[in-house]
Amino acid sequence: MTSQDNRDLQQRIGQALGVLNSFDSEREIERRVDFLCKQMIESGQRGLVLGISGGVDSTVAGRLAQLAVERVREQGDKATFYAMRLPYGEQQDEKDARMAIDYIAPDRALATDIKPASDAMLEALEQSGLQFDDPGHRDFVHGNIKARQRMIAQYAVAGTNGALVVGTDQAAEAMMGFFTKYGDGACDLVPLAGLTKGQVRELGRALGAPSQLVEKVPTADLESLRPQLTDEEALGVSYEEIDTFLMGGEVSEQAYRTIVSTYERTEHKRRLPRSPLD
Ligand SMILES: Nc1ncnc2c1ncn2[C@@H]1O[C@H](COP(=O)(O)OP(=O)(O)OC[C@H]2O[C@@H]([n+]3cccc(C(=O)O)c3)[C@H](O)[C@@H]2O)[C@@H](O)[C@H]1O
Ligand SMILES: Nc1ncnc2c1ncn2[C@@H]1O[C@H](COP(=O)(O)OP(=O)(O)OP(=O)(O)O)[C@@H](O)[C@H]1O
Ligand SMILES: [Mg+2]
């Protein structure tokens, strides 16, 4: 591949993920709140649901969701935002999660411990004969069970209240397929679509979110054997490089290779399931 081919591919990936050519925080906040309002009205649903972890993505998406339901109510319709704390037992960064809830000021805050259900599923599978290569493998699979347990909890609240589930997928995680398929990847609406990680942080700043949350190091925090494992360590590439790539800038050869191979390997996560009718 020539370097021109490389740049063309890089541009096509950025375009496919909806990365913006120009970015203005206030405009993007307005556009995304308006999007959430329109989706509620058009669907006839009466609210939004989102898990709040204490990370920057759910802090920003949560605040957009609260602004949206308030706007729908001002227009005379019914709308409620259900913010969900979904810790796995005791969460190490619980203080950040509480700070996020205080900042978002959601209509309703529900807390559900996903540990009993996640552990029960793993145990039942093991009792039925499922075997793992080693403790790390078991812990990784358990991590995806936790992400899907959060999905179950959010859809239960959405189904009960006639509300839509909000996801926090943005361009950086979408490109790297860095989410659990049908776990945190499952949702009805993706208000952060197309944003780089840096742009999500910029929206947080413009929305007045606490700087501790805006600047927080991203973690999926799914593996009990590696608590608070940073996304960057898991991915083998920094968000700075991911964002630079998305915006068409130059990254190291190694980062380029990691990003492109991960993007290609995770293509299935950005599509509907394949069928014989494709
Ligand atoms: N080409 C293909 N076409 C169709 N399906 C394909 C496929 N390749 C694999 N698959 C299937 O995909 C499934 C595996 O995908 P999945 O279950 O998602 O599992 P997987 O991608 O292995 O793991 C999820 C990753 O996302 C990370 N994560 C999860 C949740 C949140 C966050 C965060 O940032 O907060 C990060 C997590 O740390 C982990 O590294 C399997 O069923 C596999 O067979
Ligand atoms: N402990 C948790 N409690 C509630 N929701 C959670 C929890 N962990 C993950 N989630 C949900 O899963 C989503 C995906 O997690 P992810 O780590 O990508 O986002 P984040 O924690 O908001 O931000 P960051 O990626 O910067 O850590 C979160 O945005 C949130 O909606
Ligand atoms: Mg997180």
Cα dihedral: 66, 202, 102, 215 (round 10): 150
Assign domain 22-226 one CATH number from 1.10.287.3610, 3.40.50.620, 3.30.70.100, 3.10.310.30.
Answer: 3.40.50.620
Determine the length of the chain.
278
Q: Whose CA is nearest to atom 21 of ligand 2?
A: 55
Ligand 1 centroid distance, CA of 23 (Å):
30
pLDDT at 3: 84
Q: Using pLDDT thresholds of 50, 70 and 90, give the confidence band for residue 1.
A: low
Q: Whose CA is nearest to atom 34 of ligand 1?
A: 220
pLDDT 10s digits, 66-98? 999 999 999 999 999 999 999 999 999 999 999
Catalytic residues: 57, 173
Cβ of residue 85 lying under 6 Å from some atom of ligand 2: yes
Domain ranges of the chain: 22-226
How many other C-beta atoms can be found within 10 angstroms of the C-beta atom of residue 278? 7
- Both tokens of 270, joined, read 């950005």
- Residue in 62, 13, 1 with CA at minimum distance from that of residue 243: 13
pTM: 0.98
ipTM confidence score: 0.99
Does 259 show up as a binding residue in the annotation? Answer: no
DSSP 166: B
How many other C-beta atoms can be found within 10 angstroms of the C-beta atom of residue 162? 13
Does 173 show up as a binding residue in the annotation? Answer: yes
Average pLDDT over all residues of the chain: 97
Cβ of residue 258 lying under 6 Å from some atom of ligand 2: no
